[in-house]
Amino acid sequence: MNIIGGVLQENPFFLPADELLWELERRRARTEPSARPPPASREGREAGSERENGLRSVIRDLLGVLVLPAIWRGSDSCQMIETLLDVLTAMLRLDFAFATIATTPEGAKRHFFRTSKANRSIQPEEIARLLEGKLFHHRRSTTIPNPFGEGTLRVVSAPLGVHARWGTVVAGSQNQYFPQRTELLLLTVTSNQAALALEDRHVHSLEVEKSRLEAEKLRAAAELAQLRAHLEPHFLLNTLNTIAGLVTADPREARRLLVYLGDLLRDSLRDENEMQPLADQIEWLGRYAEILETRYAGRLVFRWEISDQTRAVLLPRLLLQPLVENAVKHGALMRPNGIVIVRTELMDADHAPASKLVCRIEDNGPGLPGGEIRYGAFGLLAVRRRLALKYGQRASLHLDSSSSGTRAIVELPAQPMDEARRAS
């Protein structure tokens, strides 16, 4: 504040009072010809030159800060923060610069540390402990014990993003006058630039992930369409041949198979949902099995051991059909009295009760030659691919084979229909 003409008022130029009065006199001299500007003292000229040099230095630093986004382009979050701390340490002549950030807004925090001191053995976690309880997001300075020697350091922190969404940057210096206004300005601008860069990178990564998920969904839809195309031609032809043979011998059975075949084709062509309850898939497989048992009368029998707890669990459409088809074609039909068993149950996973659906399709065939999956086994590859696209590492398909038969075991997260509705 200054008193000018007996009036207490704010200093509009942020200058000491004598310099302000000199500036006011100089301006009055411009408008009043009779008034002469006061001669500039040597001290005044030196102070003005020092201020001009300081202003030039700040402008140069600000221009350097503005090019940081170009340097950060293509870098990950860790590289951005490391560069940020290097710049701050050099630009503000700091004893150290420290940051605690999250690679994603909801992710765990990581610590980063740079120092201009010779003692570089100090770890970021040590600085984090010194700063515990002293990180302020409104740029207020405080002191901490000097980790590099005796005495204390002055530190000031700046948030990375609104409400420190990405973390906090801390600058530390032994200078008892730290931070000056220009230092606070540079710290603020630099941390803001870093927060914007982190936000942009996060948005870009979300867009990349969204594109990847959309591509995977398209691939899954294409593979499901390929599975349907694989299922329908030969199965449809063989079933129609069976029905043709029954038209005269057993018209009622022929009509029943026609109804089942119509239901199968209708359900396999429906695209309303990628997921369906296990009960619906078992019902579909039951009609499929009825047709096969009729075609191979006396040579093939299905057994169903379906836990009631599993019926409401969701799984991808037609997921089990290729496994059942393989069990029939390459297993049960290789024996005079073929048997296919379909079992489902809920099991515990990672200390979570009943959190995993386990489906087993077993046959009493001769097993896989050498225990290896045959070349060109499209059905098994399609099942594995669909599980990977939908569940990642949380789902699996295993085959156990011996001379007494083969067992295909599918494990996937158990998601009941009511949970899916709440999630949607």
Higher confidence at residue 365 or residue 5? 365
Tokens of 57: 């230095």
The pLDDT value recorded for residue 304 is 96
Tell whether 109 and 158 lie within a shared domain.
yes
Nearest to 278 by CA among 304, 239, 301, 302: 304
Residue 41: domain span = 14-64
| Residue 57 pLDDT > 70 | yes
| Residue 135 pLDDT > 70 | no
Tell whether 96 and 158 lie within a shared domain.
yes
pLDDT digits (tens, 9 = 90+) for 368-404: 876 556 545 667 887 888 888 888 889 999 999 998 9
pLDDT confidence of 231, banded at 50, 70, 90? low
Tell whether 25 and 100 lie within a shared domain.
no
pTM higher than 0.85? no
Rounded distance, CA 192 to CA 169, Å? Answer: 10
Tell whether 280 and 410 lie within a shared domain.
yes
Tell whether 79 and 40 lie within a shared domain.
no
In a domain, residue 375? The reply is yes
Tell whether 307 and 371 lie within a shared domain.
yes
3-state secondary structure at position 331: coil
| Residue 48 pLDDT > 60 | no
The pLDDT value recorded for residue 39 is 59
Domain boundary among the residues 154, 170, 205 is at: 205
Tell whether 56 and 81 lie within a shared domain.
no
The pLDDT value recorded for residue 163 is 79
The pLDDT value recorded for residue 188 is 85
Nearest to 417 by CA among 312, 297, 278: 312
Domain boundary among the residues 205, 233, 250 is at: 205
The pLDDT value recorded for residue 247 is 80
Helices and strands in the chain: count of H runs, count of E runs: 11, 14
Q: How many domains in the chain?
A: 3
Which residue type, as a one-letter code, is found at position 185?
L
pLDDT digits (tens, 9 = 90+) for 288-323: 898 889 888 889 999 999 999 999 999 988 889 889
pLDDT confidence of 265, banded at 50, 70, 90? confident
| Residue 41 pLDDT > 60 | no
- Most confidently modeled of 154-163, 233-242, 247-256, 335-344? 335-344
Kindly state the percentage of the chain with pLDDT values over 90.
Answer: 18
Rounded distance, CA 395 to CA 289, Å? Answer: 26
Tell whether 394 and 283 lie within a shared domain.
yes
pLDDT digits (tens, 9 = 90+) for 164-210: 888 888 988 988 888 888 888 888 888 888 888 888 888 888 888 88
Residues in Cβ contact with 406 at an 8 Å cutoff, skipping those fewer than 6 apart: 327, 330, 331, 362, 363, 365, 367, 368, 399, 400
